[in-house]
Amino acid sequence: MLEDIFLIRHGQPLSNTGLNYRTLPGPGLTERGKEEARQAAAFIADKGVQHLFASPFDRTAQTAEQIVATLDIDLPITFTRLIQEHAPGESNEHVQARIREFLAGIEDSPLQRIALVSHGSPIRTMLLELSPQPIKLNLYIYPGNNPAPTAGIWHARRSERGWHCDLAFKPT
């Protein structure tokens, strides 16, 4: 049974690339973003993560690749559009449906501890879906109205009363 989910926001993206931020492939990471991903890897290194899921955008894929390279272990990565960036014109209800589909899929897996690399909007939606108690996300506002800083990590852990979510890591 799934016990822990580490929700990792991608590292700092490149700006002014001419690429649309909210459509594939989107921009990649800055050098600082790569360093943030390495710091995120150091945080989850001893957490027993069995599988890494990532949005297919360049910034999330590069964050996931930096994490796996830093951990230097055989950690499988699955890229999925279910946790990708909130697309232009996509309704909040559609993002919520994608997140529910993703959560249903991992709930039925034999995995106990997973990590995922995604974006602010899907992470916010996932936190609201997981938590049985309302999370005061207005206390966690980072640039771009995100619920975590770049490469920040929310830890969701299952208890007898449902999921408990905490912002567990912020890179320096």
Render pLDDT for 74-108 as a digit per residue (tens, 0 to 9). Answer: 999 999 999 999 999 999 999 999 999 999 999 88
| Rounded to 5°, angle at Cα 24 from 42 and 153 | 25
Whole-number Å distance between alpha carbons of 126 and 58: 21
> Percent of the chain, pLDDT > 70?
100
DSSP state letters, 8-43: EE--PBP-SSSS-TTSTT---B-HHHHHHHHHHHHH
Helix (H) or strand (E) holding 70: helix 58-71
Q: At what angle do helices 31-44 and 58-71 cross, to 10 degrees?
A: 50
Per-residue tens of pLDDT for the chain, all 172 residues: 899 999 999 999 999 999 999 999 999 999 999 999 999 999 999 999 999 999 999 999 999 999 999 998 899 999 999 999 999 999 999 999 999 999 999 988 999 999 999 999 999 999 999 987 878 888 899 999 999 999 999 999 999 888 999 999 999 9
How many other CB atoms are there within 10 angstroms of residue 136's CB atom?
A: 7
Task: Give the model's pLDDT for residue 135.
Answer: 83
Task: Residue 40: name the closest of 98, 118, 105 by CA.
Answer: 118
Task: Give the model's pLDDT for residue 133.
Answer: 80
How far the first Cα of the chain sits from its last, in Å, is 33
Whole-number Å distance between alpha carbons of 51 and 67: 12
Q: Which domains does the chain have, with CATH numbers?
A: 4-110+120-169 (3.40.50.1240)
**Model pTM score:** 0.96
Retrieve residue 136's tokens.
Answer: 């005061």
